[in-house]
Structures are given as C-alpha cells and as structure tokens.
Amino acid sequence: MPDKSLDQQRLKWRDRLSVKQARIAVALTLLIGLLFSGIQIVWDLREEKSLIDRTVMQVLATLRESATQAAYGLDETLAARVVSGLFEYEPVYAAVLRDNFNNILAQKTEQQVSSNRTVLTKLMFGENQEYEIPLETGSGRDLVGHLSVKIDTDMIADGFLNRATRILTSGILRNLILGLILVVFFYVTLTKPLLRVSSLLRKIDPQNPTPDAIVIPENHDRDELGMILRTTRGLIERISATLDKLRTTEQQVRDRENQLTAIVQNVADGILTITPTGRIVEYNGATKQLLGLMRDETPQGRTLHEFLMPRAIPLLEHSLEELAAQSSDNQTTEKRLTLPIRRADQTEIDVSIALRMIPDAATPMMTAVLTDITVRKRYEEQLVYMANHDTLTNLPNRSMLESSLSKALDKLKEASSTRHGATAVLFIDLDRFKVINDSLGHDVGDLLLKAVAGRLQKVIGRQEIVGRLGGDEFLIIIPDLKETQDAAILSQAVLDALAPAFDIKGRVLFVSPSIGIALYPSDGEDFPALMRNADTAMYSAKSGGGGTYHFFTKTMNESAMARLVIENDLREALAQNQFELHYQPKVDLRTNRISGLEALIRWKQPGRGYISPMQFIPVAEETGLIGKIGEWVIAEVCRQIAEWDAQSVPPLPIAINLSPRQLIEGRITETISRILTDTGTPAARIVLEVTETVMMQEIKKSAAILEELRHLGLQIAVDDFGTGYSSLAYLKRLPINSIKIDRSFVRDVTIDTDDAAITRTIIVMGHNLGLKVIAEGVETKEQMAFLRESECDEVQGFLIATPQPPQEIVKHILRLSANAETEL
C-alpha cells in the first residue's frame, strides 16, 4: 500500500511538471514571436520614415521645373496648378510657392487628419515635417523662388499603426499555435519517452543495479533517446562493476582486518595499547605469555609499571612523558628502550619495548610492542665469542689477540713512570705442515691443528695468552715479562710439548715449530710492529732448519727487507724479461764428445749486473715466483732448441732443474705438455733434473708426477745424488734415467778415500740399476782421470767449460765436437 501511494504521488508530480513545462514553452514561444514582431515593426517604421522622405522629394523634384517657370515668370496660374498638383500626395496638407523676393505666388492648405494617437505619432514620426526646395534657373543657377510643403504625420502614422496591429496580432496567433504544436510535439517525442526512461530508472535496485532493466525501444534505436539509453546502460554496467569491486574490496579489507587481528593475536611479540600514563587498555595473547600470567589473569586495567623491575620504572615514565610531549607537535616519533621485566613467576627477562603514539586518536593512546630479547642477547654473546675466537681450535683469533696485546701494552705504558715492564710475543709456525695437509687431506690437518692447540694451552700459564692467527700459525702473548729468559723458557717448553708424536686417525705424525720472539718495547711499540718482527724472527728460525726459536735482531730485519727488495725486483724482472739462460756442456767419457747441456738461469739487472742465483732462487721459492720463473725457463729452452735446429747445430738433450715447489705444488705435467705442443719441441730433447731430497720427502707423490712426465717422453735425472741417503728400493721404484753425483763427493775424490769409495759405489749401483751416471763439479784432470777409471758415463764442470750464453756455447760445441780428444 505505501508503494502504491508513492507511485500516485510521483504521477501527480509528473503531471504538474508536464503542465508547467507546457506553460513555459507557450510563454517562451509568444515572447519570441513578440520580440521578432517588434523587431519587424521597428524596422518597418524606419523604412516608413525613409519612404516619406524619398516620396516627398520625388514629388517636389517632379514639379521643380514647372514651379521654377512659374516663379521665374511670376505666373500665378501656373504656380496655382503646381501647388494643386502637390496635394495629389495625400499626406500633404499645406503648400506654398514663392518668388525670390519671398512673395507668395500660390498656396493651398487643407484640414489635417484628426487622431487621438498624437503622442504615439510624435513618438514614432515626431512633429509634422516641412520640406522646401530652392528653384534655380540658367547656367549660373540663379535663385528665382522657393517651393515648400508640409506633411501630416498623423495620417501616415495612422496607416502605419493599422499595419503594425495586424502584424502583431497575426504574429501572436501564429506563435501561440506554434507553441501549442511544439508542446504537443515535445511531449510526444521527448517528455513522454523521458518519463518512460525515468520509470525504468526507478525500477533499478540501487543495491544491485543491473543494465538489463534498461530496454531500448526499436523506434528510438537510432536517435538521441536511444543514445541516452545506451549511455545509461553502460553507466549502470560500470556502476555495477564498481559496486562489485567495492564489495570485493570491502570483503578483502574485512579479511585483511581479520588476518591482522589473527596476526596480532598470534604474533610472538606482546602488543599493547596503553595510555600516556602506562595503563593497559588492550593486549594480544602473546602479552600474557610474555608476562607469565595465568589463563584467567588479565593485564587489562593494570599499569605497565607493575611488571617492571623497580630500577626500570623511572626510565619508562620519562620515556612516556617525552613521547607524549613530542606527539603534541604532530610528529610521529618512536621510542625504543630495553627494560627488565619481572614475570609472574618472579623470573627476570630483558624485553625490548617500542613505544609509538597512535595518530588521530580521540584520546591520546600509545602502542607498546614487547619483544623478549633474552635469546637474542645470548646469540649476540655467542656472535661476539665467535668473532673473537677461532672456530677450529676455540683459541682467541687474530682480532682478540690484537685487542689483548693492545690492552697489555696500554697498561705498561701507563705504568712506565713507576716501573719498567716488558711484553713478549711468540710467533709460532709449524714446519712442513703444508706437506701433511696436502698429502693426507685437510681433515687430518685440521685434527692436527686442534691437537697442537691443546698442547699449547697446557704449556702456558695463567698470565699468558695463546691464540691462532690462521693456517698453521699460532701466537703466544706474555703480557708482563719479568725476564727475557722467560720467553726463551716458554719457547723451549713449546718445542718440548710438540716434540712427541701425534696420533691422528691412526697415523703417527711428527711436527716441529719454528718460533720467532719479539719484545716490547725494544722490538716494537704496537701490535703490527711486534707481529712483523716476530714473523721475521720466526722466518730466521725456519730458514735455519726449523724446530727452534730465534729472538728478533736488527740484522734479521735488514735481511727481511733485503728479501722484500729481491721479491719486488724479481716481479719486475719477470715483467721486463731480464732473465737469461746460460748453458754448460756435459761430456761422454767414452767418446770424449759433448753429450748434452744443462740450462742455468742468470739474472742481469740493469745497473747492477748479474745477480747470483744463490740470492734470488731461495726468495723465488719462498714467494712462489719460482713457478713462473721455471715456466719461463722451460719455454725459453724449447725456443732455443728450435732456433739451434734451424741453424743446423748438432742436436743435444738439454737438462732443466725443477724446483721442489714446481714438482710438488704446481701443475708441472700440464705446463710442460702445453709448452712442448706450442713450440713443437721433441720431448726426448728435454731432461728434467730433480733433487734427491725433494723426491725422498714426497716419494709417492713424486713418483706419480715423474711417471706422468716420463709418459710425455721426457728424461728424468736425480740431481745432487748422495745427499739424501735414498733407499735402493725407493730408487728402483722411481721412473728415472740417470743420476748425478753431487759435487761435494767429486771435489775430494783424489784426496779423501771415503769420498772416493762413495763415488765408486754410486757409479756401480747406478749401472746395476740400468741408470746413466753423471759426475758434476769436475775441475781438475785428476778428478777426470779418476772418474774415467771408475767407468763414470758423463762429466760436467769448469774443466770442460763454464756456463756460457747461447752464442758462445754454440762455438764451444762445434770446437769440442771437432777436437774432442785434443781438448781433453
């Protein structure tokens, strides 16, 4: 029922609206008609005035000639006819013809038309108008008289008003009919369809609008109404889609709110809403667990102060007051502080609290996020420990050692005015640890380092600090050294502690330390200086064979600086190609002819001349530069072989010395194979000389590498034979072609029976094993005769020739080949 009443009210208002629109349309049409009719009347009035002037002037112009004759001849009869003729134009009510002396020759006057519209006539046409024209004759245009007439404007206005009334009446009727027609037309074509559109729109449900409610009639499919309906339908479609999106967004927001609420309730941190005084208004589930409350207990209504340790309450109050004061400046500020909380079970935990004002709140409120940092603090302590301790041995690392030494030095510096103190630094490096690590594996090496660390911890006292610098390097700090001898005593204790064998995974391993000692303040006043000098002293101990300790001296420092200079110069020498190869021949004692050459490296430094290999070869070994130098030597020998072959020099095998690092640590097989391939050098032309000591230290690894080199086609010789006390069994297993008797035996074979016996034994042993035997260091003819008598195969030494550059050695080869017996 209420819906029907509402529809009737809507129809009533619709009818009122239609009648009002009709009245407005008719009124507008009449006004427009009146406006145009008025415009037309005004225009006609203007044309009427202009027409009066033209008509009068035409009438006067027609009678001008007759009037001129009458005035010239003073002919009153003619003048009367002229005046009478003027009254043919009805509006003329008075006419006068005068001569040039203003004498009236003829005149006529009639009664004016009476009109009750005189005011209107005067408004439109003004007062009665009088027209006068001069009468002239002859070529000189002599004036002979005047002709004047008066026009009755009332007569003209009466006719004009009658016409205007008809125009206005017909216009009003026409516009009234047009207005009615337009009202009917627009009602049928526009108002009625729009009312239908309005009816359709009223049927649309605002909560769930659907474009299907808009039906486009066929007769309006292509007109503006159809366009409006289509536009309305599209608008409703977009509104419907927008509403769907809005509902989806609202649902997502509700879901998000539910999720956030669930997160807040399930998050591990306690989240509180508190007043600026600290009173708890809201809280999440984690808060009760954090505060240790029972299930039926609630923190709501209580203050946060109740759960703090008494010592922390002033800090919380100050922070709340400061945050509340800052919030009055419309600034979003967060306060973070760490406070101790006393839980319900009386245990104490450290909690990080983040306080923040809630913006735009009706009453000032804050959020407080409580995070238990007890575990984090433990983790941080663990990180600090890990940052200061070695992960393998749990000893202090370099960082902590530096800090400990710096503190000890600071104490001594502060007390320097009252007493003289000293600090000792023991730099410990394990001898041959790399060999163990590389041959047995890093796991065995790590276990050995842990065992060494354990023994070092047992050696030191309460004052001393032991730590690991890295690799196989350890450091012992004696903060307060009473006597210098105490450092030596502790060093000897370290030597003794590490002397017994280590049992690592069933393997018996021996390791000895090299120890360098530096003292404060004589050897340095800070950590870097003491470490540098202790390292120098350790190197001195290691270079002496290891297994001992050395105190730092200035001489060591000078030696270390010299080594550093040589290392830098070596790098420059490699870059600037300052190395040369000299060659020393070997002679076959059976044929007295040259049987081969040995390539020996020489370093000619600009401005200094030749530098002894005894100076730079050990430095190259220590720094690892020997690998690049050795590779250059092999490549240069192969290049020289190709050059000599092109010059038709007799082909001879050339021996090249391999360093221990080249053989054990490098990729010597791949390097030589690549160089031979690149240069096209036959492998049989190359003899690799390896010292006996190196092979005996790494017998298995050496044997495997030498086997690979023999597989390439190279010859292998054992250099300095007799100094390594090699076993015959090992010697038989090695893939070698020849052995070279060390010069220390050859030097005294003619005066020392022991050396002579050893030399003969080596020659016999080598022949029995099928090896060629070469004696080096032959300098006298007596030595040569002894070796020939002992059936040595080849000899080499200054008696034959000194090492010479390639150009000189070629001449020597040719000379010895041609006159071998005479030269020897």
> Distance (Å, rounded) from C-alpha 67 to C-alpha 105?
10
Q: Kindly state the tokens that stand for 207.
A: 């909560």
Reported as a pLDDT band with limits 50, 70 and 90, residue 823 is very low
Helix (H) or strand (E) holding 341: strand 334-342
Q: What is the structure's pLDDT at 7?
A: 52
Backbone φ and ψ of 259, nearest 5° = -65, -45
> Distance (Å, rounded) from C-alpha 632 to C-alpha 626?
10
Contacts of 736 (CB under 8 A, 6+ apart): 706, 716, 717, 718, 771
Helix (H) or strand (E) holding 229: helix 224-266
Q: By the 8 A CB rule, do 586 and 654 touch? A: no
Evaluate if residue 1 carries a pLDDT over 50: no
3-state per-residue secondary structure call for 351-419:
EEEEEEECCCCCCCCEEEEEEECHHHHHHHHHHHHHHHECCCCCCECHHHHHHHHHHHHHHHHHCCCCC
CB atoms near residue 559 (< 10 Å): 15
Q: What is the structure's pLDDT at 723?
A: 67
Q: Which residues of 196-212 are buried (b: 16+ CB within 10 A; e: fewer)?
A: ebeeeeeebeeeebebe
Average pLDDT over residues 139-165: 78
Amino acid at 754: D
Average pLDDT over residues 206-218: 75
Average pLDDT over residues 283-296: 82
Average pLDDT over residues 537-552: 85
Q: What is the structure's pLDDT at 638?
A: 94
Q: What is the pLDDT of residues 394-433, one digit of tens each?
A: 999 988 998 888 888 888 887 766 666 789 999 999 988 8
Residue 597's alpha-carbon distances to 232, 350, 355, 578, in angstroms, are: 107, 81, 87, 22
- Residue 313, SS3 per DSSP: helix
Considering the chain, what percentage of its residues have pLDDT values greater than 70?
88
Q: By the 8 A CB rule, do 344 and 293 touch? A: yes
Lowest model confidence (mean pLDDT) among 277-291, 482-496, 775-789:
277-291
Across-strand partners of 426? Answer: 476, 517
In 3D, which of 483, 518, 505, 584 has the Cα closest to residue 795?
Answer: 584
Evaluate if residue 821 carries a pLDDT over 60: no
Q: By the 8 A CB rule, do 59 and 89 touch? A: yes
In 3D, which of 409, 397, 395 has the Cα closest to residue 457?
Answer: 395
Q: What is the pLDDT of residues 437-471, one digit of tens each?
A: 877 888 899 999 999 999 999 998 888 899 999 88
CB atoms near residue 560 (< 10 Å): 18
What distance lies between CA 434 and its chain's CA centroid?
Answer: 41
> Distance (Å, rounded) from C-alpha 682 to C-alpha 642?
10
Determine if the peptide bond prior to 276 is cis (ω within 30°): no
CB atoms near residue 682 (< 10 Å): 13
In 3D, which of 509, 511, 484, 480 has the Cα closest to residue 497?
Answer: 511
CB atoms near residue 736 (< 10 Å): 23
Q: What is the structure's pLDDT at 694?
A: 66
Sort 131 into a burial class: Cβ within 10 Å, 0-12 / 13-18 / 19+: middle
DSSP strand pairing (686-691 vs 654-657): parallel
> Distance (Å, rounded) from C-alpha 479 to C-alpha 411?
9
3-state per-residue secondary structure call for 92-148:
EEEEEEEECCCCEEEEEECCCCCCCCHHHHHHHHCCCEEEEEEEEECCCCEEEEEEE
Report the mean per-residue pLDDT for the chain. 82
Q: Kindly state the tokens that stand for 93.
A: 């009510």
Q: What is the pLDDT of residues 505-542, one digit of tens each?
A: 888 888 899 999 999 888 888 888 898 889 888 988 88
- Residue 656, SS3 per DSSP: strand
> Distance (Å, rounded) from C-alpha 49 to C-alpha 43?
10
Evaluate if residue 599 carries a pLDDT over 90: yes
CA distance between the termini of the chain? 146
Q: What is the structure's pLDDT at 42?
A: 78
- Residue 273, SS3 per DSSP: strand
Average pLDDT over residues 56-66: 79
DSSP 541-597: HHHTTSSSEEE--HHHHHHHHHHHHHHHHHHHHHHHT-EEEEEEEEEETTTTEEEEE
Reported as a pLDDT band with limits 50, 70 and 90, residue 583 is very high
Q: What is the pLDDT of residues 696-754, one digit of tens each?
A: 666 677 788 888 888 999 999 988 887 655 555 566 777 888 999 888 889 988 888 88
Evaluate if residue 774 carries a pLDDT over 50: yes
Q: By the 8 A CB rule, do 474 and 456 touch? A: yes
Put the strands of the sheet holding 422-430 in their side by side order: 465-470, 473-481, 422-430, 513-520, 549-551
Reported as a pLDDT band with limits 50, 70 and 90, residue 490 is very high
In 3D, which of 817, 814, 809, 815 has the Cα closest to residue 582?
Answer: 809
What distance lies between CA 273 and its chain's CA centroid?
Answer: 40
> Distance (Å, rounded) from C-alpha 726 to C-alpha 70?
177
Reported as a pLDDT band with limits 50, 70 and 90, residue 143 is confident
Q: Kindly state the tokens that stand for 179.
A: 């207005």
Helix (H) or strand (E) holding 539: helix 527-543
> What ranges in 713-790 are assigned the alpha helix state H?
728-733, 743-746, 753-768, 781-789
In 3D, which of 660, 664, 686, 658 has the Cα closest to residue 673?
Answer: 686
Evaluate if residue 264 carries a pLDDT over 70: no
